[in-house]
Amino acid sequence: MEKKDIIQSFKDSLFTGLIALALFGPIVGLRTASKGEGLFITPQWGVVFLLVGLCILGRFLINLNSARKTEITFISKFTSKFSAITEDKAKHFAITAILFAVVFPFLPFTDRYFMDVAIMILTYIMLGWGLNIVVGLAGLLDLGYVAFYAVGAYSYALIATTFGWSFWICLPLAGVFAAFFGILLGFPVLRLRGDYLAIVTLGFGEIIRIILINWYEVTNGPDGITGIPRPSFFGLPFKRSPDEGETSFHLFFNLEYSTMHRIIFLYYLILVLALITNYFTLKIRKLPVGRAWEALREDEIACKSLGVNPTNTKLTAFAIGAMFGGFAGSFFATRQAFISPESFTFIESAIIVAIVVLGGMGSQTGVVLASIFLIGITEMFRDLEQYRMIAFGGAMVLIMVFKPKGILANRKPTILMHGEKK
Amino acid sequence: MEYFIQQLVNGITLGSIYGLIAIGYTMVYGIIGMINFAHGDIFMIGAFVALISFIIFGLTGVALPIILLLVLLIAMLFTACYGWTVEKLAYKPLRGSFRLAPLISALGMSIVLQNYVQVSQGARVKPMQPLITGGLEFFKNSDFIVTISYLQIFIVILTIILMSIFTYLITKTDLGRAQRACEQDRTMTALLGINVDRTISITFIIGSSLASVAGMMFVLYYGVIDFYIGFLAGIKAFTAAVLGGIGSLPGAMLGGLLIGLIETFWAGYVSLEYKDVAAFSVLIIVLIFFPTGFLGKPDIEKV
């Protein structure tokens, strides 16, 4: 490295610092706060100088490494090694993971909090797998997936509270309703190009939420629906003292009553639901319709000329993805026993999309890893909620810049005509 | 009738704000073919910069027109920095990547900006005392008095001035010519010795500064902002851009006005609760039946 280069990169870093000062100066440096009447400004120059300093230093180091290129190769080398390993071991990994998931509730360190987090992670895994059918396999970016989650949750809640039907009848019904909404939306919009489709689905998600907020007669507005029946163990409720003529779970199996029973049951319920989603996806990928999805994702025009009907094919992906979203929604409703439109905001859709994108669109294992990472690890830093979202968004940008196909890229066709080329 | 005129005035004011944001969408779409999802949040940042500068200048006691001018320039300058940085960080490395990559990256950027402002400025709603008060009253003899506030006049006139400058910039100057050339064929433009990267950067800078003016108007007009305003305003402005024909600059303004009018009339005559549904429904209907909009060119898919 010559002296000239160093001076050059030094100047460049100073320029970066100047820009950083302009960026952070007003927004971070001058914090507005209400005091009595009107707003006042509290300066926070320390933070600004810290951030600007970091930017200058970072830029200088990157320049010193003349780094951009080496950085990219480093990251892609690392991730490709990673995905190569996981691809070889995918089967072992899957079996180990499932075994671990099965024994997890009985491990000595597992307590209530761990179970709750695990249930949440599994819900997101299921949603991720459901969305993966739409985004990963069919290549349709759906930014309103939470709408189907909401439809599932509300149809479960409404049916269960109005008619008092059991969970096992309402669950498939909720799935059917969500799939129906998927078709309703999908039918007109699936002819649209990818980025328009993304915006339209986003609009649809918001419309559903606004309707849920304002349609008091049915949805009870922002107050939400309370008293949603808890699931029963095939007819045996989890109650300490069952009603007349009923046997509850702990009495039937002669166990001592514990609230953990219900939690463990919910855990297995979502585990089974998620695994069904996964199994279904793995199987349907090998069927003609699944292969048509993958082909459409790669080249729509070629598909059209080979006689694949793109609208119908996309519609099946959309409806099936929506159906699993609906299942997950009714699980959510029965677990919470309370739902309100607040649980179904756009940010929820964004989180699910982030999970699928970070995991690598089309990779089932990737979704699991991304969910554990995004939900599980960040759950431990609950206090840093807002920073968590910054990290979410930042990770989405970084992944797109350095590894656009996700950490575990899996865009290989599931079936090849003459076996895999060596 | 009086009520109708009042709604018309309100709609045009709102439409000016949407139109200014919509230009950012349509320019970026025209030049690099991506939906800049973070543009709504750039608008939000513009509103915050404007709010902060209003508070600072409010303490100095300078005359109102000077304050307005200064805030306008400051908001444009600082927000343009954001637009420029976002493009450099999140979109430039993605040219030539697969089609949805920039959209996902923009989505990430939007989440980052929203939460960044939430962390640094707090999540609570920021109220501001009205600066420009008073107005002209019409139909004083009837039951319903139509009021056109000075603020509304200011917003509409400022929009017209900016639009004229902007139209001149695009149609008459070298910069505008370079920009239109990039829209048609980037490779060929580069071969002719035009710095394509710089042209794209300038596009983002212009788009962000116009959005920041819209942000300033929003602060003045509504008097409250929070970190979340960019989402809805962004979607509506995008709808406006599509309605007018994405890629077309007069179309963006026209679309903005239409969306503003549709929203106010819907809120005034049909239902206030569902006013956002109106905007979203228009978006969906336009995209399905009318994807080229009023002034857009048909999009031909090539192999």
Decide if B115 and A386 are in contact by the 8 Å CB cutoff: yes
Query: Measured between CB atoms, which of A31, A211, A214 is closest to B120?
Result: A31
Nearest Cα neighbor of B233 from B213, B215, B255, B249 is: B215
Contact assessment for residue A300 and residue A113, using Cβ atoms and an 8 Å cutoff: no
Decide if A395 and B97 are in contact by the 8 Å CB cutoff: no
Tens digit of each residue's pLDDT (9 = 90 or more) over A9-23: 777 778 888 888 777
Q: Which of B82, B280, B300, B303 to mutate to test the interface with A (most CBs of A within 10 A)?
A: B280
What pLDDT, on the 0 to 100 scale, is given for residue B42? Answer: 92
Contact assessment for residue B89 and residue B38, using Cβ atoms and an 8 Å cutoff: no
What pLDDT, on the 0 to 100 scale, is given for residue A78? Answer: 65
Instruction: Mention every residue, 6+ apart, whose C-beta is less than 8 A from residue B111.
Output: A347, A350, A389, A390, A392, A393, A396
First to last CA, chain B: 54
Asked whether residue A254 carries a pLDDT value surpassing 70, the answer given is no
Record the tokens describing residue B212, joined without a space: 């920041």
Decide if B111 and A32 are in contact by the 8 Å CB cutoff: no
Query: Residue A6 corresponds to which amino acid?
Result: I
Q: Which residue of B has its CA nearest to A139?
A: B100
CA geometry: angle A211, A216, A217, nearest 5 deg:
115
Tens digit of each residue's pLDDT (9 = 90 or more) over B245-294: 877 788 888 889 988 888 888 888 877 777 778 878 888 888 778 777 77
The rounded distance, in Å, linking the Cα atoms of B240 and B233 is 10
Domain spans in chain B, listed from the N-terminal domain onward: 17-229
Average pLDDT on A219-246 reads: 72
Please return the burial class of A62, using the count of CB atoms within 10 Å of its CB with bins 0-12, 13-18 and 19+.
middle
Average pLDDT on B45-51 reads: 90
Phi, psi (degrees; rounded to nearest 5) at A246: -120, 150
What pLDDT, on the 0 to 100 scale, is given for residue A89? Answer: 67
Asked whether residue A241 carries a pLDDT value surpassing 50, the answer given is yes
Tens digit of each residue's pLDDT (9 = 90 or more) over A43-66: 778 788 888 888 888 877 777 766
Q: How many residue pairs bridge chain A and chain B with CB atoms within 8 Å of each other? A: 178
How many CB atoms lie under 10 A from the CB of residue B63?
7
What pLDDT, on the 0 to 100 scale, is given for residue A76? Answer: 62
- Least Cα separation, residue B140 to chain A (angstroms): 34
Considering only CB atoms, which chain B residues are within 8 Å of A406? none
Average pLDDT on A303-330 reads: 88
Average pLDDT on B33-47 reads: 89
Lowest mean pLDDT among A86-95, A159-168, B21-30, B220-229: A86-95
What pLDDT, on the 0 to 100 scale, is given for residue A408? Answer: 65
- What Å distances lie between residue A352 and A97, A135, B275, B292, CA to CA? 21, 11, 27, 31
- Greatest mean pLDDT among A201-210, A232-241, A358-367, B124-133 lies in A201-210
Decide if B116 and A196 are in contact by the 8 Å CB cutoff: no
Average pLDDT, rounded, for chain A: 79
Lowest mean pLDDT among A160-169, B44-53, B166-175, B261-270: A160-169
First to last CA, chain A: 42
Decide if B34 and A195 are in contact by the 8 Å CB cutoff: yes
Record the tokens describing residue B178, joined without a space: 């370079």
Tens digit of each residue's pLDDT (9 = 90 or more) over B74-125: 899 999 989 998 988 888 888 877 777 888 888 889 988 988 888 888 777 8
- Per-residue pLDDT band at B44 (split at 50, 70, 90): very high
Nearest Cα neighbor of A131 from A373, A325, A407, A388 is: A325
Average pLDDT, rounded, for chain B: 84
Lowest mean pLDDT among A101-110, A314-323, A353-362, B258-267: A101-110
Average pLDDT on B152-161 reads: 89
3-state secondary structure of B61: coil
- Per-residue pLDDT band at A422 (split at 50, 70, 90): very low
Contact assessment for residue A155 and residue A326, using Cβ atoms and an 8 Å cutoff: yes
Instruction: Mention every residue, 6+ apart, whose C-beta is less than 8 A from residue B126.
Output: A32, A34, A39, B48, B51, B224, B225, B226
Q: Which residue of A has its CA nearest to B77?
A: A22
Average pLDDT on A86-110 reads: 74
Contact assessment for residue A44 and residue A28, using Cβ atoms and an 8 Å cutoff: yes
The rounded distance, in Å, linking the Cα atoms of B264 and A384 is 39
CA geometry: angle B153, B156, B158, nearest 5 deg:
100
Average pLDDT on A276-286 reads: 87
| ipTM here | 0.82
Which residues 128-147 on chain A approach chain B with CB closer than 8 angstroms?
139, 141, 143
Which residues 114-133 on chain B approach chain A with CB closer than 8 angstroms?
114-124, 126-129
- Per-residue pLDDT band at A240 (split at 50, 70, 90): low
Lowest mean pLDDT among A194-203, A301-310, A371-380, B51-60: A371-380
In this prediction, what percent of chain A has a pLDDT beyond 90? 5
Asked whether residue B29 carries a pLDDT value surpassing 70, the answer given is yes
Helices B275-289/B249-265 angle, 10° precision: 140
What pLDDT, on the 0 to 100 scale, is given for residue B239? Answer: 85
Domain spans in chain A, listed from the N-terminal domain onward: 3-66, 91-402
- Per-residue pLDDT band at A77 (split at 50, 70, 90): low
Average pLDDT on A273-293 reads: 87
What pLDDT, on the 0 to 100 scale, is given for residue A407? Answer: 66
The rounded distance, in Å, linking the Cα atoms of A412 and A419 is 12
- Per-residue pLDDT band at B213 (split at 50, 70, 90): very high
